[in-house]
Structure 1
Amino acid sequence: MSQGTGGAGLPGRVRELAASFQDPDVVAAYVHRPPYPAEVFDILESLMAGGPRRVLDLGAGEGALARPLAARVDHVDAVEISPAMVAAGRSRPGGDRPNLSWHVEAAETMSVRGPYALVTAGASLHWMDWEPTLARAAGLLAPGAFVAIVDQHHLQLEWRDALREVIVRHSRNPGYDPAFSLPDELSRLGLFEIRGRRETAPTVFRQPMDDYIEHFHSTASLARALMPPQEAAEFRAEVEDVVGEHRDANGELVLRTAASIVWGLVVPQQPAGQP
């Protein structure tokens, strides 16, 4: 579930939440997020502009997009502000590929050099300052190249409504809205011109209860570091209460997931003070 929030100007609360990705506990919990379906990477490959197949991945985290992409393209530059995330990414499968370069820096002021045939971004784009990030990315794109925003979500959860109540009760993001669409918001703000959308076919993902609960703690809004220990225990108990009866005979949850890919062009912005 995306935990949408405004990015422009990065108010103090947004910065505080974004800083959660520096927390080793959040980094360790990332491994429990569902993997992107292989179809995601087929779609991303099809979106690349001509020329060298070089990709820039913004807010790469531990490389859920960057590592599989590096196996398919000429080069990937993975930009991630959290050293802990980069360290985790380097140690995970494909993280040490010679054509994958990790850059510990902010996307808003990244020092990488283009041109890139594609720029990708996952959910971490929520926590960036959108206007300077997209403006910087635009200057690195090959002519006609797209920015592709990828989001992963669960499908047809029988417990969705009850779970939403638990998340709203404990989320540190007061603007939490499960229906929030980052690409649509960027389009509404005049920063992004959407050129296409695709959703992958559903895939089945089996997960033990402990791992399912743990994946929530990989999000900024539900990081354990932002909860008193008693509240973290309450969150766990409430999720178990909502989901427990849905486990299969092996004690696992059978989840159906899909990913959405929205691609488009960065809309050039007028410099301040110009009509």
Structure 2
Amino acid sequence: MTLAPTPTPFDPDRYRFAAAHYEQGRVPYAPALIRRVAEVTGIGSRHRVLDLGCGPAPLARGFAPLVREVVAIDPSPEMLAAARALAGQAANIRFLSGSSYDLDPTLGPFRLAVMGRSFHWMDRVDTLRRLDRMIEPGGAVVLFHDSAPAIPANAWRKVWRDIRERYEPNHGPHDRDPDWIRHEAILLESPFPRLESFGVIDRRTVDVETLVQRALSMGSTSPSHLGGKMGAMVAELRAALADVREEVVETSALVAWRPDFR
């Protein structure tokens, strides 16, 4: 079976006005999850990691102490500026302007290519073909994600989601799309078909201002997409979620190896 999903149109400015809200609003990946991925993939001080669609580079910062070099790529100048500021004195992170369409063996080789909430915006089949020429034997592609278990501590999330949906001028590439092909299906038909998933579930403190920033960090409810509606959405979020104090989140990693590994 050959899958040929329709790629989402490339838009380098999609997160231009969301960059300022991303670091404060988005769920951080659990350090224990990054350590687990490092353990199972065997990365160490001689290896290089590619962070593709890095945003403000939380993954690059997480992996940098463990490896020789991290190359972090993003098409947004605003995201790269935020990433450089947050990386501070991390000398082994190299930031490059570009996208999955710029992947080339001259950048490699890499032990890992990691992506945090970015793979769904790419031409996924093309990206994996390009990575096939860059990931060394024994290496892997790792997709990071976060989700929220449907438990009482997360009951407020429906209110947050419902408010956002009323203001969304459009949705992400797979939101409520019955024809969306899951990442697992794409990976199973790729050069990286050996799949294993890992997750860490944490109880974390959160407040309404973080949830406002989270909404504004989303591509579909960023300030540029909301325009004059932004103030109304922010006011509604603050009124409805003022009492929120905690959330339970799962940060997860889907590791995809070459078939001859392990």
TM range (shorter): 0.7 to 0.9
What residue number does 2:143 align with? 149
Identity %: 22
Q: Name the amino acid aligned to 1:167.
A: R
The answer on whether the counterparts of 1:81 and 1:107 sit within 8 Å (CA) in structure 2 is no
- Give how far 1:98 is off: 1.8
- Give the equivalent residue in structure 2 for 1:238: 236
The Cα of 1:194 is off from its aligned counterpart by: 4.6
Counterpart in the other structure of 1:76: 70
* Contact residue 113 and residue 142 of structure 2 kept, 8 A: yes
Q: Label 1:212 to 1:124 Cα distance change in 2 as closer, same or farther (>3 A).
A: same
| 2:190 is equivalent to residue 164 of structure 1 | no
Tell me the distance in 2 between the aligned counterparts of 1:8 and 1:266.
Answer: 24
Alignment of 1:202-217 (within 5 A): 202-204=202-204, 206-217=205-216
Alpha-carbon distance in structure 1 between the residues aligned to 2:59 and 2:131: 17
> Deviation of residue 197 (structure 1)?
0.7
Q: Distance in 2 between matches of 1:215 and 1:54?
A: 30
Q: 1:212 to 1:106 in 2, by over 3 A?
A: same
2:171 corresponds to: 173
> Conserved in 1, the CA contact under 8 Å of 2:43 and 2:67?
no
- Answer yes or no: is the 8 Å Cα contact 1:117–1:142 preserved in 2: yes
Instruction: Quote how far apart the aligned CAs of 1:75 are.
Output: 1.2
Match of 2:111 in 1: 117
Residue type of the partner of 2:210?
D
Instruction: Return 5+ residue gaps in structure 1 as ranges.
Output: 1-5, 248-252, 268-275
> Is 1:34 aligned to 2:27, yes or no?
yes
Q: In 2 relative to 1, CA 141–49 (structure 1 residues): closer, same or farther, beyond 3 Å?
A: farther
For 1:270, the equivalent position in structure 2 comes to none
Counterparts of 1:63 and 1:69 in 2: how far apart (Å)?
10
Q: Is the 8 A contact 1:193 1:266 kept in 2?
A: yes
User: How big is the shift at 1:61?
Assistant: 0.8
* Counterpart residue type for residue 200 of structure 2: T
Indicate the RMSD between aligned Cα atoms, in angstroms.
Answer: 2.8
Structure 1, 233-242 or 60-69: larger mean CA deviation: 233-242
Instruction: Report the alpha carbon displacement of residue 136 of structure 1 after superposing the two structures with TM.
Output: 1.1
Q: Is 1:260 paired with 2:252?
A: yes
Q: Which residue of 2 aligns with 1:44?
A: 37
Alignment check: 8 A CA contact 2:139 2:258 kept: no
Tell me the TM-score normalized by structure 2: 0.82
Query: What residue ranges of structure 2 are gaps of 5+ in the alignment?
Result: none
Q: Amino acid of the residue matched to residue 161 of structure 1?
A: K
TM-score normalized with structure 1 length = 0.79
Q: Which residue of 1 aligns with 2:8?
A: 10
1:141-184 Cα deviation digits (max 9, x unpaired)? 11131111000233431123333322332232175249988533
Contact 1:79 1:110 in 2 (8 A): no
Which residue does 2:197 correspond to in 1? Answer: 197
